[in-house]
């Protein structure tokens, strides 16, 4: 039996905003990889994205593989859009068991000279958007008998993150713990993934193709991660294999945060 068989999953931010990697026919970001991998494991997936075309592209890829998926446009900074996304998942598939909120934005300038309007926009998406998706998803997951939630945090939550991005992600980690404790007796688990430097569509769009060579020496494993590696961590947290795991965060960073000096480690083995 597949790991998410008979489960309904809502993935917010399930599109991919950026260029494909070399050799890819389909651009893959964290949200798209999560949606596709979970569909392969039996989940029926409602995919939302601020770009309807991008969400539809993910849904089409799932259907082409024999999975079940629907797409809709939703900007998590809008309360009405968050409510509509949850309602659409329940209406289309009859229930909601699982939710992943992969939405987040970052600005190249992230110090205290940032424009206040940009600060407000980032917090509206990165933090308020998480709150709004939880606000409407949790009652439906409880109604379905319980399930699991994974929020998208970042290693920036614990290893420096500027004036806006890191603090927004640190708040998500706190939110995860609050949800986990409050809804544990309702059989709802809530955890976060904290990706490190991932070779995703967002990274290529903002950092260019040369980022891997620039950052690889800082990572003990010697390379950036892939969206599929993030997706596998999310799949584990959504599955019954993680049935006694709630209120915590999983780093997916190739050892970056364990490397205190942020310098290349000596090669200890061949």
Catalytic machinery residues: 165
Q: Angle, nearest 10°, between helix axes 165-183 and 129-143?
A: 20
Q: Are 184 and 190 in contact (CB under 8 A)?
A: no
Q: In which element (H, E) is residue 188 found?
A: strand 188-195
At which residue do the structure tokens 């309360």 appear?
79
- Bridge partners of residue 46, in order along the sequence: 10, 70
Q: In which element (H, E) is residue 230 found?
A: helix 227-238
Residue 64: how many other CB atoms lie within 10 Å:
9
b/e per residue 150-167 (b: at least 16 CB within 10 A) = bbbbbbbbbbebbebbbb
Q: What is the DSSP letter of 265?
A: P
Q: In which element (H, E) is residue 168 found?
A: helix 165-183
Q: In which element (H, E) is residue 150 found?
A: strand 147-152
3-class secondary structure, 147: strand
| CA–CA–CA angle 68, 36, 32 (5° rounding) | 120
């Amino acid at each position: 039996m597949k790991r998410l068989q008979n489960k309904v999953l809502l993935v917010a931010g399930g599109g991919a905003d950026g260029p494909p990697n070399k050799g890819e026919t389909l651009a893959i970001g964290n949200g798209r990889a999560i949606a596709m991998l979970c569909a392969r494991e039996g989940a029926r997936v409602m995919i939302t994205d601020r770009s309807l075309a991008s969400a539809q592209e993910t849904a089409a890829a799932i259907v082409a593989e024999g999975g079940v998926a629907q797409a809709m446009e939703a900007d998590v900074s809008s309360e009405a859009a968050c409510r509509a996304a949850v309602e659409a998942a329940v209406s289309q598939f009859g229930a909601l068991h699982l939710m992943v909120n992969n939405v987040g934005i970052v600005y190249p300038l992230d110090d205290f000279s940032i424009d206040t309007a940009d600060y407000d926009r980032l917090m509206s998406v990165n933090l308020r958007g998480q709150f709004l998706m939880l606000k409407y998803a949790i009652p439906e997951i409880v109604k379905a008998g319980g399930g699991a939630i994974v929020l998208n945090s970042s290693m920036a939550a614990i290893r420096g993150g500027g004036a806006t991005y890191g603090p927004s992600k640190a708040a998500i980690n706190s939110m995860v713990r609050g949800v986990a404790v409050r809804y544990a007796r309702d059989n709802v688990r809530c955890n976060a993934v904290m990706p490190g430097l991932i070779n995703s569509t967002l990274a290529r769009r903002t950092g260019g193709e040369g980022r891997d060579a620039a950052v690889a020496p800082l990572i003990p494993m010697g390379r950036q991660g892939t969206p599929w590696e993030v997706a596998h961590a999310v799949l584990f947290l959504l599955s019954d294999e993680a049935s006694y795991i709630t209120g915590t965060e999983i780093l997916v960073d190739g050892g970056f945060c364990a490397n205190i000096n942020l310098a290349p480690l000596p090669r200890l083995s061949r």
